[in-house]
Amino acid sequence: MTALQFKQPFFNELPKLLSPVLPQGLGASRWIAWSDDAAQLLGGIKPTASLLNQCAGNQLFDNGLGHYFAQVYSGHQFGGYSPQLGDGRAMIVGSLQAPEGAFEMSLKGAGITPYSRHGDGRAVLRSALREFLASEALHHLGIATTRALAVVGSDLSVWRETEETAAITVRLARSHIRFGHFQYVTHGLQSKPQLQALIDFTIKQHYPELTLDSQGYSAWFAKVVDSTALMIAKWQAFGFTHGVMNTDNMSILGDTLDYGPFGFLDRYDEDFVCNHSDSESRYSFVRQPGVALWNLQRLAQALAPIIASDSLVSGLDSFEPRLIEHYVTIMSGRLGMARHDNDSDLELISALMRGLQANGLDYTRTMRQLKLVSHADKQLPWQDDCVQPQLMSDWWRAYKTRLVGVDDWDGWQAQRQRTNPKYILRNYLAQQAIEEAERGNLEMVTSLMAALQNPFDEQTQYEQYAQLPPDWAQGLVLSCSS
Ligand code: AMP
Ligand code: MG
């Protein structure tokens, strides 16, 4: 197999925004998980023994530098500004040209960097697997995200609340640039030339159609707002809660980034908080759109030395309409309903969500039952499970008026199957797969991953991964500890 050919655009062009680092290898290590699908992005590479050694940080990839690098950035964490953050345990190896575009490879959990603060630079197997499973799951739901090639496990012990073992996630990202990079350059370095360089680099790498002038900058910011709105619309549409929407975890490309205590909704509950360290529910499910806008406002402040205020303001003003447009498009696609206008469409969709919430219904399983609906039905398939059936019968009447044009019901139902997933990464499934992997049994990681790679297909062999959470897992919450 030919060696991976790394390029170093970020390292070469933005040297003030990084520190060279060397990995601290895991030592004796093994593959815990591998995504053939992500490997396809790199020309179908295989999990060889020498690649294992490199991904474990025991041996350097030949990346043309002789070292890796950690990026520096800052960010608003739970509303408070931290002037200097950075990759405390992730190291970027370099950029790989793939048919679908370039991907930066990073090793998350590869040791101490200048930005580790009091951390040990490590990731535990539990958090590495959660990132791996989630990024592959979101990707196959059609939600923009960083990808994960593999998880490498080891016997190296690390302490969190208890003793655990160290692992590395091999992450592939179109870019690791975060809102926090722009904040660091403007508020920390206070350097207009550096800000200009960072903006120009981002545009040249990822928006080559745009010009490097005021018109191009204005169009670029509008695109950043739009891709963020699209990502959030998809999170809301598929019931994903990120958990730590700090500005240092917001990708400039609108890719879901930095998985920690995330969670998918089981029961529809707009107040769901997946991160038990989030005592003020700042990052609850329903607050994600508002937080994204708040984060975009922080980004706009950081861009203000270069980009004209009226461009920034009109970009920010476009967030809400773009979010609603994306959300209504996705949800009316899931529901298979005729569109009227955004206001009345959104009201009808919201009424369903209120009905699901009031009745404590499972979000994914209820939506999946749409594939059984037909216009002649007297009631919805989940009507008998409702404690407040009236809400659902009222909604059924309103919804039916949006289905009048349908004549091919088999085709309509098949389309509901293609738009409403059967398999999502429920927290209890991630937890079970992790516990099995910690005991040395990788079968569930592999099979769960296979189920999540085709979330819309029936896959009867994986029926167990479409079940409601068991009693022990009701209200499972996670901490930031990773
Ligand atoms: P997160 O919210 O997980 O994205 O992490 C917030 C910050 O803490 C980032 O700058 C991370 O690099 C850093 N961090 C998290 N865990 C560790 C660790 N074990 N060692 C060093 N830094 C860490
Ligand atoms: Mg982070």
* Least distant ligand from the CA of 108: 1
**Residues with a known catalytic role:** 248
**DSSP, res 392:** H
Burial class of residue 58, CB neighbours in 10 A (0-12, 13-18, 19+): middle
**Mutate-to-test residue for ligand 1 from 17, 24, 89, 244, highest number of ligand atoms within 8 A of CB:** 89
Q: Which DSSP string do the residues of 249-299 spell out, in sequence order?
A: G-BTT--B---SS-EE-SB--TT---BTT-TT-TT-GGGHHHHHHHHHHHH
Residue 315: CB partners within 8 Å, gap ≥ 6? 218, 221, 222, 224, 225, 296, 300
Taking residue 52's Cβ as centre, other Cβ atoms within 10 Å add up to: 18
Q: What is the C-alpha separation between 383 and 363, in angstroms, rounded?
A: 14
Protein residue with its CA nearest to atom 17 in ligand 1: 119
Asked if pLDDT for residue 481 goes beyond 90, the answer is no
| Domain range annotation of the chain | 6-173, 179-328
Ligand 1 binding pocket mutation candidate from 107, 115, 179, 278 (most atoms within 8 A of CB):
115
User: Which of 117, 135, 164, 479 for mutating ligand 1's site (highest number of atoms within 8 Å of CB)?
Assistant: 117
* Close Cβ partners of 417 (under 8 Å, ≥ 6 residues apart): 368, 371, 456, 458
Distance 432 CA to ligand 2 centre (A): 25
The residues near 60 (Cβ < 8 Å, ≥ 6 apart) are: 22, 23, 54, 66, 67, 68
pLDDT of residue 99: 84
Q: What is the mean pLDDT of residues 388-397?
A: 97
- Which tokens is 37 given? 């699908």
The band of 263, judged by pLDDT with boundaries at 50, 70 and 90, is very high
For the CA of 244, the closest atom of ligand 1 is 2
Rounded-to-integer distance, Cα 303 and Cα 199, Å: 9
Q: Percentage of the chain surpassing pLDDT 90? A: 96
Is the pLDDT assigned to residue 1 strictly greater than 70?
no
> Residue 308: its pLDDT value, please?
98
- Give dist(CA 220, CA 369) in Å, integer: 40
Q: Which ligand is nearest to the CA of 90?
A: 1
Nearest CA to ligand 1 atom 14: 88
Name the closest ligand to CA 127: 1
**Whole-angstrom Cα distance, residue 347 to residue 342?**
8
Q: Which atom belonging to ligand 1 lies closest to the Cα atom of 87?
A: 12
Nearest CA to ligand 1 atom 4: 258
Residue 270 has pLDDT above 70, yes or no: yes
Tell me the mean pLDDT in the region 427-432.
97
| Confidence bin at 475 (pLDDT 50/70/90) | low
479: pLDDT strictly greater than 80? no
Q: Are 263 and 364 a contacting pair, CB within 8 Å?
A: no
pLDDT in tens, 307-329: 999 999 999 999 999 999 999 99
Q: What is the mean pLDDT of residues 124-129?
A: 98
> pLDDT at residue 474 above 90?
no
Confidence bin at 90 (pLDDT 50/70/90): very high
Mean pLDDT within 272-276: 95
Mean residue pLDDT of the chain comes to: 97
- Quote the Cα angle for 257-123-13, to 5°: 50
Give tens-digit pLDDT for 162-210: 999 999 999 999 999 999 999 999 999 999 999 999 999 999 999 999 9
Q: How far is the CA of 112 from the centre of ligand 1 (A)?
A: 11
- Report how far residue 296's alpha carbon sits from residue 343's, in angstroms, rounded to the nearest whole number: 24
Q: Among 184, 261, 236, 196, which residue's Cα sits nearest to residue 13? A: 196
Give 56 Cα–ligand 2 centroid separation in angstroms: 21
How many A from CA of 295 to the centre of ligand 1?
19
Give the span between the Cα atoms of 31 and 188, in whole angstroms: 40
Task: State the pLDDT at residue 480.
Answer: 67
Q: What are phi and psi of 167, to 5 degrees?
A: -145, 170
Q: Which residues contact 249 (CB under 8 A, 6 or more apart)?
A: 75, 178, 242, 257, 258
Q: For residue 249, is pLDDT > 90?
A: yes
Q: Which atom of ligand 1 is nearest to the CA of 120?
A: 20
Output the pLDDT for position 472: 80
Angle at 67 between CA 45 and CA 36, to 5 degrees: 15
Ligand nearest to the CA of 482: 1
Task: Supply the residue whose CA is at minimum distance from atom 1 of ligand 1.
Answer: 258
Give 471's pLDDT tier (boundaries 50, 70, 90). Answer: confident
Cα(89) to centroid(ligand 1), Å:
6
At 144, give phi and psi (nearest 5°): -60, 135
- Report the C-alpha gap between 128 and 168 in whole angstroms: 6
Q: Where are the beta strands (DSSP E) in 138-214?
A: 147-159, 163-173
**pLDDT for position 340:** 97
**Closest ligand 1 atom to 73 CA:** 10
Q: According to the model, what pLDDT value does residue 23 have?
A: 98
391 C-alpha to center of ligand 2: Å?
Answer: 41
pLDDT score at 347: 98
Percent of the chain topping pLDDT 70: 99
Report which ligand 1 atom has the smallest distance to the Cα of 113: 21
For the stretch 45-68, pLDDT in tens is 999 999 999 999 999 999 999 999
Taking CB atoms and a 6 Å cutoff, what residues make up the pocket around ligand 1?
85-89, 115-116, 119-122, 244, 249, 258, 260, 482
- How many residues are recorded in the chain? 482
* Rounded-to-integer distance, Cα 173 and Cα 433, Å: 24
How many angstroms separate the CA atoms of 227 and 110, rounded?
Answer: 30
Give the position, in ligand 1's atom list, of the atom nearest the Cα of 90: 12
Residue 88 CA to ligand 2 centre (angstroms): 9
Q: Distance (Å, rounded) from C-alpha 291 to C-alpha 297?
A: 10
Checking if the pLDDT of 412 tops 70, the result is: yes
Mean pLDDT of 243-272: 98
Confidence category of residue 482, pLDDT binned at 50, 70, 90: confident
Distance CA 175, CA 184 (A): 17
